[in-house]
Chains A and B, each alone.
Chain A
Amino acid sequence: MNEFRFEIEEVTDPAEVARSLTLDERHARNTDWLEGHWADLMPQARGKFVAVAGEESHIADTLEAGRAWIARTHPEDHGAFVRYVRKQEGPRIYANHRCVAAV
């Protein structure tokens, strides 16, 4: 598990490239929208899940409820997503997601 081996390949199928780039655009619309609306969602979204689809949002208590809102309201939006919002405010330190072996 400490051996992280990845194969890197260029996607050569034009249809697959087009699909990937199309999703970039759809997903960017929603992430850009969220970036501009955090102030409207805070602090009520803390400790909850924000679902974003069709450039609108829904605050849900669970991940499953967020997904259900997307499926119900924007089933066509493949760039939709659900994101957990941390309970705590303040700086985040993500470093050192390590794999350690028990001894």
Chain B
Amino acid sequence: MRIIGAWLLCDDGAISPTLRAKSLREDGTLAADVFLLDTGADRTVFSAAFLEDLGLPAHDSSPEYSLVGISGNRPFVLVETALEFSHDDGGVVRVRGEFAAFSDPTATDMSVLGRDVLNNFDVILSRRRNEVLLLAPNHQYRVEKS
């Protein structure tokens, strides 16, 4: 399985590795968002805008836990759902579980795909080759000396 992302031009001119993911809204329709691939993030976090679009019931996290980023603690909630990713065989894979989501709309401009999801794949980010790839069986990578 090969899931293909893209290097996307952002508001500040930076070009960042991203992947489109989808999730079911409360009304049964699908919503999509662009996620920043962040191999330094322990957890995947939905932006408040995506959470609001989904309209899914969310619950507060345990009070002894907080979500800490470079800019400090931000309020967040937890939501039970599944993220869908399209792969290049023409199919769709679903990752189901409990995801974190910012409740402050200004906490982040993009949803973040962290290692809780990325650890299930081999992740290739190559700006030089303009590639963003998530690999799972039956795909693999090989490093060769040219």
**A interface residues with partner B (beta carbon < 8 Å):** 1, 4-11, 16-17, 19-21, 23-24, 26-28, 31, 35, 38, 41-42, 45, 47, 49, 62-63, 66-67, 78-79, 81-86, 89-102
Contact = CB atoms under 8 A, between A and B. Distances in A.
Interface residues of B, number: 61
Contacts of A95: 38-41, 70
Given A7-B97, A11-B84, A98-B67, A81 B32 contact: yes
A20 to B, nearest CB: 5
Contact of A42 (B11, B30, B105): B11
Interface of B: 8-14, 20, 22, 29-34, 36, 38-43, 45, 47-50, 52-53, 61-70, 84, 86, 90-97, 100, 105-106, 108-110, 112, 114, 116-117, 120, 136
A9 B69 contact: no
A97 B42 contact: yes
B12 A89 contact: yes
B9 A99 contact: no
A77 to B, nearest CB: 11
Contacts of A96: 40-42, 68-70
Contact of A20 (B8, B40, B70, B92): B92
Nearest to A46: B11
A61 to B, nearest CB: 11
Given A20-B84, A38-B11, A63-B48, A6 B20 contact: no
B110 A49 contact: no
